[in-house]
Amino acid sequence: MFLALLELRAARGRFLLMGSVVVLVAALVGIVSGFTTGLGDDTVSALRRLPASHLVFSSDARSDQFARSLLDDRAAAAWRREADADATPLGVSITRGTTDRGAEVDLAAFGVEPGSFLAPSVTAGRGLDRTADDSIVISAKLADEGVRVGDTLVVDRLGIRLHVTGLTDRSAYGHVPAAYVPLTTWQRIRFSTPGAPASATATIPDQFSALAVRDSGGGSFAALDQRLSTTTLTKERAYEAAPGYTGERVTMNSIQVFLYLIAPLVVGAFFAVWTVQRRPELALLRALGASRRRLLAHTVLQAALVVGLGTAAGAVLAAAVGLLVGEQVPFSLPAATLAVTMCTVAAVGLAGTALTLRRVTTADPLTMLGANR
């Protein structure tokens, strides 16, 4: 151990250079992980907050189900009756509005029945009112954009006036802040024709995007789907129906995988060159009686110090980037995620040193005794 530390001190320039590379790789992996989590939260956090286990869509909607699926009350009644489960309608669509104070915002309107298990809990103001179809509960992300409790929000091109009655936790759908409205109001937003007279509201269909199911039995609904021409997905599977969710995760995860492949190659290449350069010293140690096990421990200790300290510094740098960007971009790096990511970086980095161990164990003591002369 003393010799390993002595070499680190003697060749500190080389080890600092290698450590800097490990710091940058670890920080980059941490930052990518933060963006992966943040983008995922910014796409489906509103769906994650739904107190449901499954979502039921119409069978003709194969993708983008929240935009393409439509169910009616008859399908909902038949599903409830045969499934014997607690289910309530859910409507999801993206729209745009302007407040009476001039704040222009995009919002993902979630249509729910007031009083159902989907009705949002509020942190300020009051929740959706059964007797007031013009109420709306906004998420904290909309409050960040200038919408306040008590404001009047007018849906663009439709002229639907909504009164902001409450505030709930931060949530978003498809990178758009979420807001919750009564189901009848959502149907007006979803099915109204811009510029149509008010009398046309009588023709608005009584339909919605999906049924949210609260099932504690964990059973399969495949047979029921076949009979009722529906498609039931777990809430986690339904995340893929959110716009851009799958593509973003595939892209960001691919970047992470390549970084995990780069880390052991870089560390392995450095220690391979370092081992070649010090083969005479290793042979001398063998000639003086050092065992192969001790030489292996010597090399692994050096690698562990460089990779461990570099990874720790990279973690600090990634966390600092998260604090720097704040809430300006979709970045989320919880401590547990950061710890798992950094442990993975350290593990694959140390795996790269395995490429050098054979050269260490094959150091020939006869090299220092003149066998090559």
More confident residue, 263 or 317: 317
Tokens linked to 264? 């052991």
Q: What is the pLDDT of residue 368?
A: 55
Burial zone of 106 (CB within 10 Å; 0-12 exposed, 13-18 middle, 19+ buried):
middle
Average pLDDT (241-248) is 89
> Is-contact 7 285, C-beta < 8 A?
no
CA distance 330 to 252: 13
Q: What is the pLDDT of residue 373?
A: 46
Is residue 361 scored above 90 in pLDDT?
A: no
Residue 85 pLDDT class (50, 70, 90 cuts): confident
CA distance 179 to 158: 17
Is residue 167 scored above 50 in pLDDT?
A: yes
Round the average pLDDT of the chain to a whole number and report it.
86
CA distance 328 to 324: 9
More confident residue, 8 or 59: 59
Residue 363 pLDDT class (50, 70, 90 cuts): low
Is residue 371 scored above 60 in pLDDT?
A: no
pLDDT digit string, tens, across residues 92-125: 999 999 999 999 999 999 999 999 999 999 999 9
pLDDT digit string, tens, across residues 193-204: 886 655 555 578
Is residue 288 scored above 80 in pLDDT?
A: no
Q: What does each C-alpha distance from 257 to 262, 264, 286 come to in angstroms?
A: 9, 12, 39
> Is-contact 234 54, C-beta < 8 A?
yes
Q: Which 3 state secondary structure label does DSSP give 218?
A: coil
pTM of the predicted structure, to 2 decimals:
0.83
pLDDT digit string, tens, across residues 2-52: 565 666 666 677 778 888 889 999 999 999 999 999 999 999 999 999 999
**Residue 63 carries which DSSP code?**
S
Beta strands, E only, the chain? 54-58, 71-72, 86-99, 104-112, 124-125, 135-139, 152-155, 161-168, 172-173, 176-182, 207-208, 210-214, 230-234
